[in-house]
Amino acid sequence: MLLQIVQNITLITALAAIYSIFPQLSYKRNPRFILANGLIFGLVAIIAMSMPYVAEEGLIYDGRSIVMALAGIFTAPVSALLAALIAAVFRAFAIGGAGTIPGILTIFEATGIGVLMHHWNDKHKITLGFSSLLFFGLVIHLLMLAAQLTLPNERWRTVIPAIAPAVLTIYPVGLALTGTLFVQNKKHIEEHFQLKESESRYRSIFENHHTIMLISDPDTGSIFDANPAAIEFYGWSKSQMLHMNQSDLRASSPEPFDDSPATGSNTGEALNVLHRLQSGEIREVAVFSGPIEYAGKTLTFSIVQDTTEQRKAERLVRQLNQTLEQKVKDRTQELEQANNELKAFAYSVSHDLRAPLRAIEGFSSLLREHVEGHLDGTSLHYLDRIVYNSEKMGTLIDALLRLSRVTSQPIVFTNVDLSVIARETISELQQVEPERHVDVFIQDELTARADAALIRILLSNLLGNAWKFTSKAQVASIRFEASQSNTAERVFVVSDNGVGFDMAYADKLFSPFQRLHTETEFPGTGIGLSLVQRIITRHGGKIWAKASPSHGAQFFFTLGDGNEQVNI
């Protein structure tokens, strides 16, 4: 009996060898291979039954249970069923005898358990091991022994004790060993198909992609393959390129060329080089290289990108940037020169113009004292106008100087409490006009990063204007508060219920010496809001206003991020 079992297991091992030689047999979705699998396993089962251990006429034992179990586990269910039908028909009609029923039962129970194991393995995606195959082998052959109970005349009583030791030891081990071989073959087959599929995808990309691709020997530089895009770009035929070397494509630079450092052909880094085409034209290219397994060899895969136009554009941009930088430098020098001239002008105004003004004012006062009582009222009025306008000219000169200083002096950013400065400003205004009663609201803790001295000038002008333009209101009201804008930037607001102004003239508000009210109504230099705008602009902020005649005005302003000054 042992010899026949060894012969059967050897036969099944040969079946596994067939699958390793013809891996496409395991491709279960092809109808031809499904049919071929069923026929092969059915044929092997027939061969196994042709070399049996014969207990008596019509009662044989062989390796068909192992064959059917392997068919169920490793082939499509249709293939396993076809193999089982072939084996069952052969057992029933070619052999027959008393063991026909248990023989056919063994064929179908081994096939059925194999199919169940196949589905369980597919569902859980678990690689079958020797121990799991051994367990299923025991189950299958226990059922095989149970099938012997169908033998006529209770012959199982003598048969089962005779075959049980071999059926429960050699058969399960034989199934586990041959099954393990099939598992290994299956793994190799899957890797084989994956590799073929990967190579097919690579070949499709390589042949159809518009990117220039080359494959070369990393040691010699010989070109192993070139895709159609490379053939079109370089101009040589494919047969010519396959006889060329990577060095044949390199060209000497006719002018300085910015090569990136080359640290090797397989670094995966881009290398900027010059390549020569078949026409003799030189092109600037970036080469990206890396190792690739191709046809069983480790080769260098290179992607070549034509960067000629790109690098021309980059050089043009660099040239334009250099030109722009020079223009900015020249413009900065011009602005610095203009600022210096403005400072010189301010100095001239401060010193050269004040002396004549003081002389006019002084001699006019002396003349008035000298001729007082000798001139009529009209003449005295003329002298008063000379003195008044001299003083006004001095005031305007002071305003111009303040405007110049605000533009040129550096900003020192600190944490400033605008509420405190606003209250101090209102207090000074109340001391000048103690008889006025103004309803003032100043929001607490209005803080910002700003220049404290400039903020004092800013609030002095805004609150001073509000105080001045509410002088004719029956119940004057001034408010200073803040809110958040849509951009989360804090917006400060100075509002009043004074005379207001027509928004049609709002564009004149921040221009020097532009007034929306006559000097007889509301005296002033017309330069205060220009100072305010320049202070806010230098802080990186902005200012705008809303108003209507006889309904007051609102001035909104921001102070930037409080980190960087803006030069104007």
Give me the amino acid identity at 537: T
Question: Which tokens in the block code for residue 541?
Answer: 């902020």
Separation between Cα atoms, residue 438 and residue 496, nearest integer Å: 10
Beta-strand ranges (E) seen in 451-535 are 476-484, 490-496
Average pLDDT over every residue of 92-97:
90
Residue 520: per-residue pLDDT: 57
Residue 516: per-residue pLDDT: 63
How far from 184 is each of 20, 68, 190, 477, 493, CA to CA, in Å? 9, 19, 10, 95, 82
Residue 493: what are its φ and ψ, rounded to 5°? -135, 125
Q: How far apart are the first and last CA of the chain?
A: 109
Task: Give the HSE-up count for residue 125: Cα atoms under 13 Å, Cβ half-sphere.
Answer: 0
Angle at 356 between CA 351 and CA 359, to 5 degrees: 120
Q: How far is CA 444 from the centre of its chain?
A: 45
Cβ-contact 201, 275 below 8 angstroms:
no
Question: pLDDT category, 264, cuts 50, 70, 90?
Answer: very low
Percent of the chain at pLDDT exceeding 90? 29
Separation between Cα atoms, residue 522 and residue 506, nearest integer Å: 18
- The residues with which 294 forms a beta bridge, in sequence order, are 297
pLDDT at 138 over 90: yes
pLDDT at 139 over 70: yes
Task: Point out the least confidently predicted range of 135-139, 247-251, 380-384, 500-504.
Answer: 380-384
Average pLDDT over every residue of 269-294:
87
Percent of the chain at pLDDT exceeding 70? 80
Average pLDDT over every residue of 49-77:
85
Question: What is residue 275's three-state secondary structure?
Answer: strand
Q: Which residue has the higher pLDDT, 25 or 458?
A: 458
pLDDT at 399 over 70: no
Contacts of 150 (CB under 8 A, 6+ apart): 101, 102, 105
Task: Point out the least confidently predicted range of 13-27, 42-56, 294-308, 399-413.
Answer: 13-27
Say if pTM beats, i.e. exceeds, 0.85. no
Cβ-contact 65, 145 below 8 angstroms:
no
Question: pLDDT category, 360, cuts 50, 70, 90?
Answer: confident
pLDDT at 71 over 80: yes
CA torsion 279→285→288→289, rounded to 10°?
A: 40
pLDDT at 106 over 60: yes
Residues 286-328 have pLDDT tens digits of 999 888 877 678 899 899 999 999 889 988 999 999 889 888 8
CA torsion 20→23→25→28, rounded to 10°?
A: 120
Q: Which residue has the higher pLDDT, 165 or 387?
A: 165
Residue 103: per-residue pLDDT: 92
Q: How far is CA 106 from the centre of its chain?
A: 62
* DSSP assignment string, 107-140: HHHHHHHHHHHHHHHHHHT----HHHHHHHHHHH
Question: pLDDT category, 263, cuts 50, 70, 90?
Answer: very low
Residue 230: per-residue pLDDT: 93
How far from 344 is each of 231, 307, 321, 339, CA to CA, in Å? 71, 54, 34, 9
Average pLDDT over every residue of 257-280:
66
Question: Which tokens in the block code for residue 42?
Answer: 């059915």
Helices first, then strands: H and E counts in the chain: 17, 14
Residues 457-516 have pLDDT tens digits of 889 889 988 998 898 888 899 999 998 655 567 899 999 998 888 887 777 777 666 666
Residue 568: per-residue pLDDT: 56
For all residues of the chain together, what is the average pLDDT? 82
